[in-house]
Structure 1
Amino acid sequence: MSDLSSFPNGLDALAARLRQDLAWLELPAKSWVPPRDVDGQRVVDVVIIGGGMAGLVASGMLKRLGVANHVVLDKAPAGREGPWVTFARMRTLRSPKQLTGPAMGLPALTFRAYYEALHGREAWVALDRAPRETWMDYLVWYRRVLDLPVRNGVTADAILPRADGMLDIVCRQAGRTETMIARHLVLATGRDGLGGPFVPPIADDIERTFWAHTADAIDFAALRGKRIGVVGAGASAMDNAATALEAGAGRLDLFVRRTDLPRINKFTGIGSQGVVHGFAGLPDDWKWRFLNYAMREQTPPPRPSVLRVSAFPQAHLHLESPIAGLEQDGDHVVVTTPKGRYPVDFLIFGTGFKIELTNRPELAAVAPYIRLWRNRFPVPAGMGNGELEASPDLGDAFEFLEAEPGACPALSRIHCFNFPATLSHGKLTGDIPAISEGADRLARGIVRALFVADRERHFADLQAFDTPELLGDEWADDETETLSERPSERIPT
């Protein structure tokens, strides 16, 4: 066991250790992908949309494997990518602090190394879970210490297949539009990457000023003294309820359709490297069985999140209370459940996300050709599940597949590295525990595709390579001597 007392103090020392580790491992690998130009414009080998955790570790893995010509695009300002300091409202991460997450197997790149370098060993031991703002600071450091090619303030407006098999990525930044030509595209776009927030249709007739989804920007200060309703029993519902209460909400009603709050996180019970690496190898019916069961059981909200809400006497839990009706009544809304009618001034839906390709305008040119599980998998009796049925059916490198073979070959170059990939690959794309393993699978698949596509160029390079290992003076040829001139050779006895 190493002497942990010698662990480096300070981020400068940690960065130096990381550089040394990478040097010892001969990483990053040298750049090897032949450059391409089209009409005088340099082609980008890989464009990654999304600079949150998944996009950063995908970039890190590509760089590690020698794909230097790639770029990460994110619409948010630097330091505000992903949910951590925007619509995430928990105090701490839900994942245990010791999970290595995006560290790619490098000890000096772990959150623990970062935290101890800043605060010391005793602070790490005392830490329960990572505060979400601290996790965001860690990701900012991660991006900087790996020197990842992220461009902020860039929105991808359209993904367009080209006649030459590549992709046009139409981007907008500060009012200017540019088109990148990419060989591969990675959608590292999180929970709502193939859809958006789900709000039940019952809210359609209520003015937007009276409600929000947990993924929306919410002015909680404006809710002080108000009657607030929250729909849902998941972690986000609890975190938003707690944030409203802490901002001074006068009353809070939490509406839950179940008879009790879910209590057991089923997937935690079987978490292992077997699940991480084996799920993708399951037969389709077993993939469906695992995820359908886990989704029906639901993931419980963390105990600290529930206690954060229940600590307030003005918080009220309503079980067996699905929303049966919403009625706008002057300056408030009346929520009707089987148990009664509740006037609220503002309603927050903690109802998760949906997969709906038509919600993503940037995918409009390719969405009609993407094969979904419902297109080819007969749903087992009694296991209907709209979210799973709408999930994309993905290849080995998270690439989209065609609903009709030959209709849109460019789909093989678009990789779905976001939460809806779960049914095809397992939980490798949206959560902290196995994000590095997911990025490794993604990057290796892209590397394989790039090499195969450039095989003629690599073969030409093989033939043209002429740097000699031997110079010809190492050992002289003695075949000019006749056999009779050679001294007799005897085997010693």
Structure 2
Amino acid sequence: MTFSQPPEIPGGLAGLESRVRQDLAWLDLPTCSWVPERSMDGRHVLDVVVVGGGMAGLTASGYLRRYGLLNHVVLDQAPAGQEGPWVTYARMTTLRSPKTLSGPCMGLPGLTFRAWYEARFGTVAWDGLDKIPRQTWMVYLEWLRHVLDLPVRNGVTLTNVARAADGVLALTVVQDGVTETLLCRHLVLATGRDGLGGSYVPPVIAGLPRDYWRHSADPIDFAALKNRRVVVVGAGASAMDNAATALEAGAARVDMVIRRATLPAVNKFTGIGSMGVVQGFVGLPDGWKWRFMDTVLDAQTPPPRPSVLRVSSHPNAFFHLSCPIDRLEMAGNAVRLHTPRGVMETDFIIAATGFCADMSRRPELAAMAPHIRLWKDRFTPAAQDMPSGHVSAELATSPDLGPGFEFLEKVPGSCPWLKYVHCFCFPATLSHGKVSGDIPAISDGAERLARHITRALFVEDRETHYANLVAFDTPELRGDEWRDTPLPAIG
């Protein structure tokens, strides 16, 4: 579908940027850098490295600057303007979130999407906007990076994390074929839905020749699907978006193969969305955390109504419910699907089957992965905590995180430096709630993260800060502001 935007208001963004900078100045932000400089073997040590320059990484960086942690950098492997899913594997027409959410504004009205949109296109355009086009959202995130002057380096891939010394991590990164080592005190993984694993592909599909299938998060040549038969496996938002994109590219037919007997219709977590959930979920007892998330996962998140209509408006789109795949086989140049409802053939399969947290799939995490404590390592849900009636594998393999999103050790003492690595991505949900990946509460999560790192750095450097306290001798009084006088005589 063609992407277009309203005409711009000349000078509108310049005025907003001036206001944002004035607001920051009035708030005296960012605060001055206060962390003692550190070096090791003559090499500079960064206070924080954030991996991931998408929405979560940018918001985390903004809060790190706000708290005076100016000695940090954000790394992203994608070129500038392609961070995150918005213009890569996201194929929806618009975001599903309401346009009025404050999102990654970090508490500043001038940084909201609405302020940016109205400044650029005007209030009439804002009033006429239904949902936010995903490409527009990407442009807005680029503007946040620009107006806050966030320290992002693009085209950089993290390949290894290791301990360099007590309290210092060594990160191996590659840029343009050149390998370098960065030293830092804290590492934030703001790496999105697949941040601790990757795409999940059912074995029945993964066993096919690679030319005949792709995961919905893979690059897909939709033009090559013109006049071909396509099967989309799944019923979520991604399944609908990929099916619609194939149809709009001229696919001969698209069959949606869905295990469930009906599409999920109620978005549970959105229905109870409140600041109570945002701030209170992290304080729930473990059983209640599990109960909330098990209920949400069991109900599943429905695809947006416009996304379903985008598919069903095509006469060559077909929905097959109660239709799991039993087995697949090649039949010449086609794939034959065997299901409880019968047999069908297709030319190409798109697996819209989600993601999994499996750190063994991430070579950069290899040194730490065996030591990271998962929920299954210390918690067994009781019957009342499992409305679904079974132990969720997704919840069981979620990392069990500390109050600052930091990883914890499976065996105490086995890998003490894990506390310096923070999981600020989707797999943190069971520990912290939906504050590390989705738009509504991303600012709340990023501030929680930045406050924890700020506190940790100060506590670790307490001897230096105390020495600075003792040595501080800048007088505020000069001695000439008063004179000593005798007490008045009695009587």
- TM-score, length-scaled by structure 1: 0.96
Structure-1 residue corresponding to 2:245: 243
Q: Which amino acid aligns with 1:472?
A: G
Structure 2 CA distance for aligned equivalents of residues 464 and 251 of structure 1: 76
Structure 2 CA distance for aligned equivalents of residues 205 and 136 of structure 1: 35
Structure-2 residue corresponding to 1:475: 482
Q: Which amino acid aligns with 1:217?
A: P
Structure-2 residue corresponding to 1:402: 409
Deviations 1:360-388 (A, max 9, x none): 10000000100000000013333310000
Q: Which amino acid aligns with 1:288?
A: W
Structure 2 CA distance for aligned equivalents of residues 373 and 231 of structure 1: 29
Structure-2 residue corresponding to 1:312: 314
Q: Which amino acid aligns with 1:436?
A: S
Does the residue aligned with 2:34 lie in a helix, a strand or coil?
coil
Equivalences for residues 250-399 of structure 1 within 5 A: 250-381=252-383, 382-399=389-406
Q: Which of 141, 144, 148 is the aligned partner of 1:142?
A: 144
Does the residue aligned with 1:158 lie in a helix, a strand or coil?
strand
Does the residue aligned with 1:410 lie in a helix, a strand or coil?
helix
Q: Which of 415, 433, 452 is the aligned partner of 2:459?
A: 452
Structure-1 residue corresponding to 2:179: 177
Q: Which of 214, 217, 224 is the aligned partner of 1:215?
A: 217
Question: Contact between 1:86 and 1:217, CA under 8 Å: does it hold in 2?
Answer: yes
Structure-1 residue corresponding to 2:4: none
Structure 1 residue 330: Cα displacement:
1.5
Q: Considering only CA atoms, is the larger Rg found in Structure 1 or Structure 2?
A: 1
Equivalences for residues 41-80 of structure 1 within 5 A: 41-80=43-82
Deviations 1:238-273 (A, max 9, x none): 000000000000011001111111111011111000
Structure 1 residue 340: Cα displacement:
1.1
Structure-1 residue corresponding to 2:445: 438
Structure 1 CA distance for aligned equivalents of residues 461 and 54 of structure 2: 30
Question: Contact between 1:196 and 1:359, CA under 8 Å: does it hold in 2?
Answer: yes
Does the residue aligned with 2:50 lie in a helix, a strand or coil?
strand
Structure 1 residue 42: Cα displacement:
0.5
Structure 1 CA distance for aligned equivalents of residues 105 and 165 of structure 2: 38
Equivalences for residues 16-31 of structure 1 within 5 A: 16-31=18-33
Structure 1 residue 8: Cα displacement:
11
Aligned residues: 478
Structure 1 residue 9: Cα displacement:
6.2
Structure 1 CA distance for aligned equivalents of residues 219 and 469 of structure 2: 56
Does the residue aligned with 1:43 lie in a helix, a strand or coil?
strand
Structure 1 residue 304: Cα displacement:
0.4
Structure 1 CA distance for aligned equivalents of residues 110 and 376 of structure 2: 43
Q: Which of 202, 205, 208 is the aligned partner of 2:204?
A: 202
Does the residue aligned with 1:317 lie in a helix, a strand or coil?
strand
Question: Contact between 1:292 and 1:383, CA under 8 Å: does it hold in 2?
Answer: no
Does the residue aligned with 2:165 lie in a helix, a strand or coil?
coil
Q: Which amino acid aligns with 1:31?
A: S
- TM-score, length-scaled by structure 2: 0.96
Structure 1 CA distance for aligned equivalents of residues 216 and 374 of structure 2: 27
Structure 2 CA distance for aligned equivalents of residues 391 and 162 of structure 1: 27
Structure-2 residue corresponding to 1:3: none
Structure 2 CA distance for aligned equivalents of residues 240 and 229 of structure 1: 10
RMSD after superposition: 1.2
Structure 1 residue 166: Cα displacement:
1.3
Identify the range of structure 1 (381-390 vs 283-292) with the bigger mean alpha-carbon deviation. 381-390
Q: Which amino acid aligns with 2:396?
A: E
Structure-1 residue corresponding to 2:3: none
For structure 2, the 5+ residue unaligned runs are: 1-8, 384-388
Identify the range of structure 1 (236-245 vs 470-479) with the bigger mean alpha-carbon deviation. 470-479
The structure-2 alpha-carbon separation of the partners of 1:246 and 1:8, relative to structure 1 and needing over 3 Å to count, comes to closer
Does the residue aligned with 2:311 lie in a helix, a strand or coil?
helix
Question: Contact between 1:9 and 1:120, CA under 8 Å: does it hold in 2?
Answer: no
Deviations 1:191-240 (A, max 9, x none): 00000000111123210110000000000000000000000000000000
Structure 1 residue 164: Cα displacement:
2.3
Structure 2 CA distance for aligned equivalents of residues 248 and 380 of structure 1: 50
Structure 2 CA distance for aligned equivalents of residues 300 and 205 of structure 1: 28
Structure 1 CA distance for aligned equivalents of residues 281 and 354 of structure 2: 24
- Identity, in percent, stands at 64
Structure 2 CA distance for aligned equivalents of residues 296 and 8 of structure 1: 49
Q: Which amino acid aligns with 2:345?
A: P
Q: Which amino acid aligns with 1:108?
A: G
Structure 1 residue 161: Cα displacement:
1.5
